Chains A and B, each alone.
Chain A
Amino acid sequence: MGHDNILVLDGITKKFGDIVALEHVDLSIRRGEVHVVCGENGAGKSTLMNILVGIHAPDGGKIVFNGKETTIRDPLAAGAMGIGMVHQHFTLVPSMSVAENLFLGHHLRHFGFFSDRQAMVERAGTLIDTYSFALDPEASVRTLSVGQRQRVEILKALVFDAELLILDEPTAVLTPPEVEELLKVITNLRDRGRTVLFITHKLREVKAVSDRVTILRRGKNISTHITKAVTENDIARDMVGRDVFLMGRQGQGARAFGKNVLQLENVSITNSNGRLLLDGINLDVRAGEVLGIAGVDGNGQTELAEAIAGLIPVQAGTIRLDGTDINNASVVRRQEAGLGFVPEDRLDRGLSRNMSIAENMAATNYLRAGILWRGFVDKGRLAEFTQKGIEQFDIRGAKPSLTVGSLSGGNMQKVVLAREFARDPKVLLVSQPTRGLDIGASEFVYSEILSAADKGNGILLISSELSEIFALADRIAVIYSGRIMQILTREDADEETVGILMNGGKEQAA
């Protein structure tokens, strides 16, 4: 090979029941490189990482670490071998200090029984200095920002001298400046001789940080490239298996729209510290139009959706639905006025997993669909209504009486869509509609959204997936730090411009 490989995966296969999550995946990581594994949701990235840290055992293939074939029993064993994992969801205890968190489970001791707090603070301080992270080892994690917490998380892996550091979608929770910081940290780690395996599906990050990139698609590794030698479009094509930008409405030209159905004027929301979460938002959506809100997660999208849906009050500004002021209207009033809402997290606001599919699907439709008779539920009509939704949205494995929790993620999302689309709302507020779905399910969701627009519904699509925005939106509004940076028509928008705006418009896209 000529190269010193720290890790080689050879023909790794993993099945969950009948579903093949990984099929003969080969991967070799060179010592001291930053290697990105990218792929769409459901491509098998997480499964692969879980195998590397011992959470799942592979059904076939071998793992060679530092030249020796090994099996990784559990995360502790992985840590002892020198594989450190930085999870997407933090594993920190908020009430404890940075130092205590770094040594959680491995406290340094005095007299064998007491914690040697001073030694831990000193060791933590040295480590922080080594990587020049601005952190106070005695600060309680509760007081840290998300970006700082992530650095603690990285340090946790480094305390035990991880040679290979795996970062699982680390930028998903960060604000744009924090992403920049993280990318610098990764470069710094490489310069200090660590090997970094970085999982992402964001193309810009791939280009910005990696030496080599491996693309997974539907559980298979499609290609490995030297990053410099390929363009973002090449990577995207390999990820999806065709030209992404030809999906949806790309290249269809301008469409004709009706009147304004949703208008936001100067809408502002603050948090308890007085910081503006939404800062004077002005938007309008016309009948038959898809307005896409592009942006990195955590820039006010959640608040925007909840404010329109009527779940949180606005401190200033006006929201109009079909011309009428709905600022003080209840959730039900807004529904009656013609608003449909697909929340960003289906298990949080979208569904009640312990209730039946029928009750979930009927929740906003009892009156409209004639399921009620003087407040009593007509079980026959309920079953009929649900069955229609199940067929129309092709919800597999569904029966009206089953609990929603028994469905897969994609089919759960279809229950939410079936419920909201059934009312034929004037305005559909759709938030992160394909999060966690595989490509097949995503395509189905795309086509439903587009056909709703064709029927004349106004659609506000909030998504942090740029490809989704480009595939569906007629106009693209970019949100950053609670503000709408600019609204572009699809013809005028290109990924570079939108990418710059998403990051606050300050830096050049790589």
Chain B
Amino acid sequence: MINANLKGSLHALIAPLGAIALTMALGFLLVAAISDEPVLAYRELLFANFDSLSNFALFLNRATPLVLISVGITFAFRAGVFNVGGEGQLFAGAIATTVVGIAFAGLPAVILFPFAVIAGIAAGAAIGWVPGILKVKLGVDEVVVTLMLNTIVLLFTSYLVNQVIRDTTAYGAVSWKLPEHIWLPTIPGIPGATSGFMVAVVLSLLSWVVLFRTHWGAEVRSAGTNLRYAEAVGIAAGNRVITAMLIAGGFAGLAGALYVLGIGHRFEQNFSPEYGLIALTCALLARVNPAASLFTALYYALMLNGAAYMQISTEVPRSLVMLLTGLLVLLMTARLTRKGSNSQTFDAF
């Protein structure tokens, strides 16, 4: 029994690891073609993150929003909603926290801090709720709605940050700084690393328990795999789907809140290198498992930050990582056999 389970989980690892290995190999060929020092470039890409404590701190900071968003997306996917709206939900959370933090800067931290965080979560959840309710009540395609909402939210934050809360002393589309008393503390011993990372780790493990070890989690997964079955066995399936989308949006909103409170300390219109899309990649690579997406998010943070070190040390441009991400997303759901779909995969995606 244990052996069979182990075999099963090993088997489940082959496809994502294969896609990662293939992508890294293709990337290496590309680097080798344009650079004299491909090995150095790859060393920098993967290991420079551990060269110093400050590099490591940046690495953890990069991972934090990725972990949170991809765990949130996991809830949506498990409930059968293909949520491509992580980016919009993230921005909604970040801007809401910023607006609250700036508008009520005079309040003491004990009140303002939770208020700002809750505002971020609520804004993200609200953006997640829209596609959820539209899908459940009317069957509107969630992919289109979430894609459109991303642009709408980004335009809205662009308006706020340019016209309303813009820091007129700074260059670019950035807001005023948040009051220092609600900044998130750093992790003790790692200067510069946001303690938001600890929150992300705890929440990802907690999410695994909720999804796979509680009755509620079983109900969400039932609704996600077969809505009509879920109804017939007495699950309030629509309700579960909407709740899962609220959670997904809430997680992305929290990611935005923790980003401005712990890393950026202000809202910047260009703070996200497509975190939403990369987090979706992490969630799918982790086979829609919140605990596993902790690791895929860390892997991605490694690459995103490593690219900068790679560019400094060798002449390989950092946009290599974006290229590799594209390749990985492209290859991720591909299968070598034509009809090789097994019951573990998410056929609909």
Which chain A residues have a beta carbon within 8 Å of chain B's beta carbons? 309, 311, 330-332, 334-335, 341, 343, 348-355, 359, 362-364, 366, 372, 375-377, 379, 401, 403, 405-406, 419
B233 near A364 with CB under 8 A, answer yes
Q: Given B218, B225, B230, B232, which contacts A354 in the complex, CB threshold below 8 Å?
A: B225
Cross-interface CB contact of B5 among A332, A334, A401, A403, cutoff 8 Å: A401
**Separation of A366 and B233 alpha carbons in the complex (Å):** 11
CB pair A377–B218 under 8 Å, yes or no, is yes
Contact of B234 among A335, A348, A354, A405 (CB under 8 A): A335
The docked-state distance in angstroms from the alpha carbon of A311 to that of B4 is 38
Complex contact B232–A341 (CB within 8 A): yes
Q: For residue A420, which residue of chain B has the nearest CB?
A: B233
Taking a contact as CB atoms under 8 Å apart, the answer to whether A349 and B228 are in contact is yes
B338 CB within 8 Å of chain A = no
29 A-B pairs in the complex with CB atoms less than 8 angstroms apart: A311-B231, A330-B234, A331-B231, A331-B232, A332-B234, A335-B234, A341-B232, A349-B228, A349-B229, A350-B232, A352-B229, A354-B225, A354-B344, A355-B222, A359-B222, A363-B222, A364-B234, A366-B218, A372-B215, A375-B215, A375-B216, A376-B213, A376-B214, A377-B215, A379-B213, A401-B5, A403-B343, A403-B344, A405-B343
Q: Which residues of A contact B231 (CB under 8 A)?
A: 311, 331, 349
A352-B225, A353-B226, A355-B222 known; A363 vs B216 contact (CB < 8 Å): no
Q: Can you list, as one digit per residue, whether each of B190-230 has a CB less than 8 Å from chain A (1) or not (0)?
A: 00000000000000000000000111101001100110111
Nearest residue (CB) in B for A306 is B232
Q: How far does the Cβ of A289 sit from chain B's closest Cβ, in whole Å?
A: 24
Interface residues on B, range: 20 to 34
Chain B residue contacts of A372, Cβ below 8 A: 215
Give the distance in Å from the alpha carbon of A349 to the alpha carbon of B214 in the complex. Answer: 22
Q: B4, B5, B213, B226: which contacts A352 (Cβ < 8 A)? A: B226
Interchain CA distance A127-B231 in the complex, whole Å? 46
Among A311, A372, A377, the one with the most B-chain Cβ atoms within 10 Å of its Cβ is A377
Known: A352-B222, A354-B225. A377 touches B234 (CB 8 A): no
Q: Contacts of B234 on A, CB cut-off 8 Å?
A: 330-332, 334-335, 364
How far is B234's CA from A334's CA once the two chains are assembled, in angstroms?
Answer: 9
List A contacts of B222 (CB < 8 A).
Answer: 352, 355, 359, 363
Q: Which of B4, B215, B225 is A355 in contact with, Cβ under 8 Å? A: B225
| B236 cross-chain contacts in A, Cβ below 8 A | 330
* Smallest CB separation, A389 vs chain B (Å): 15
**Least CB separation from A345: chain B residue:** B228
Q: Which 6 residue pairs across A and B have the least CB separation, nearest first?
A: A332-B234, A331-B234, A349-B232, A363-B233, A352-B226, A403-B343
Among B214, B215, B225, residue most surrounded by chain A Cβ atoms (within 10 Å): B215
Kindly list chain B residues whose C-beta atoms are within 8 Å of the C-beta of A349. 228-229, 231-232
Verify A375–B229 contact, CB threshold 8 A: no
**Residues of B122-162 whose CB lies within 8 A of A:** none
Residues of B within 8 A of A363 (CB): 218, 222, 233, 235
Extra pairs beyond A311-B232, A349-B232, A406-B343 (6, CB < 8 Å)? A331-B234, A350-B229, A352-B229, A354-B226, A355-B225, A405-B343
A-B contact count (CB 8 A): 70
Query: Which residues, 162 to 195 on B, are CB-close (under 8 Å) to A?
Result: none
Chain B residues contacting A341 (CB-CB under 8 Å) are: 232
Q: Which residue of B lies closest to A379 (CB)?
A: B213
**In contact, B218 and A343 (Cβ under 8 angstroms):** no
Expressed in whole angstroms, the minimum distance between the Cβ of B200 and any Cβ of chain A is 23
Pick from A335, A351, A377, A405: contact of B229, CB below 8 A. A351
A304 to B221, CA, bound (A): 28
Asked whether A375 and B225 contact (CB < 8 A) given A331-B232, A343-B232, A401-B5, the answer is: no
Question: Min CB distance, B32 to chain A, in Å?
Answer: 41
A355–B233 touching, CB < 8 Å = no
Alpha-carbon distance between A334 and B229 when the two chains are bound, in angstroms: 16
Question: In the complex the two chains form, what is the Cα distance from A349 to B237 in whole Å?
Answer: 13
A181 vs B136: C-alpha distance in the bound complex, in angstroms?
A: 41
- Complex CA–CA separation, A379 to B235 (angstroms): 20
Residues on B with beta carbons closer than 8 Å to the beta carbon of A334: 234
Q: Are A352 and B230 in contact (CB under 8 A)?
A: yes
Query: In the assembly, what is the distance between CA of A488 and CA of B235, in Å?
Result: 37
B5 / chain A contacts, CB cutoff of 8 Å:
401
- A401→B234 CA distance, assembly (Å): 22
CB nearest to A349 among chain B residues = B232
A377 to B225 Cα, complex, angstroms: 19
A342 CB to nearest B CB, Å: 10
Chain A residue with the shortest CB-CB distance to B217: A377
A23-B96 Cα distance, complex, nearest whole Å: 71
The answer to whether B218 and A351 have CB atoms under 8 Å apart is: no
A331 CA to B213 CA, complexed, in Å:
24
* Docked pose: A363 CA to B232 CA in angstroms: 10
- Residue numbers in A under 8 Å from B344 (CB-CB): 354, 403
> Which chain B positions have C-beta within 8 A of A350?
229, 232
- Compute how far the CA of A388 lies from the CA of B236 in the bound complex, rounded to whole angstroms: 28
Most buried by A among B228, B230, B235: B228
- A355 contacts B221, C-beta separation under 8 Å: yes
Measured CB to CB, the closest approach of chain B to A334, in angstroms, equals 8
Identify the interface centre among A335, A349, A372: most chain B CB within 10 Å of its CB. A349
Are the C-beta atoms of A309 and B343 separated by less than 8 Å? no
What is the CA–CA distance of A332 and B231 in the complex, to the nearest angstrom? Answer: 9
In this complex, which of A334, A351, A354 has the most chain B Cβ atoms within 10 angstroms of its Cβ? A354
In whole angstroms, what is the CA distance A461 to B184 when docked?
63
Known: A354-B343, A363-B222, A403-B343. A348 touches B214 (CB 8 A): no
- Nearest-neighbour CB distance to chain A for B10, whole angstroms, equals 15
A401 to B262 CA separation, bound complex (whole angstroms): 42
CB distance from B172 to the nearest CB of A (A): 47
Q: With A331-B234, A376-B214, A377-B218 given, is the CB distance from A353 to B343 under 8 Å?
A: yes
Greatest chain B CB density within 10 A among A352, A364, A372 is at: A352
Q: Are B343 and A348 in contact (CB under 8 A)?
A: no
Q: How far is A419 from B215 in the complex, measured between Cα atoms in Å?
A: 16
Inter-chain contacts of A401 with B (CB < 8 A): 4-5
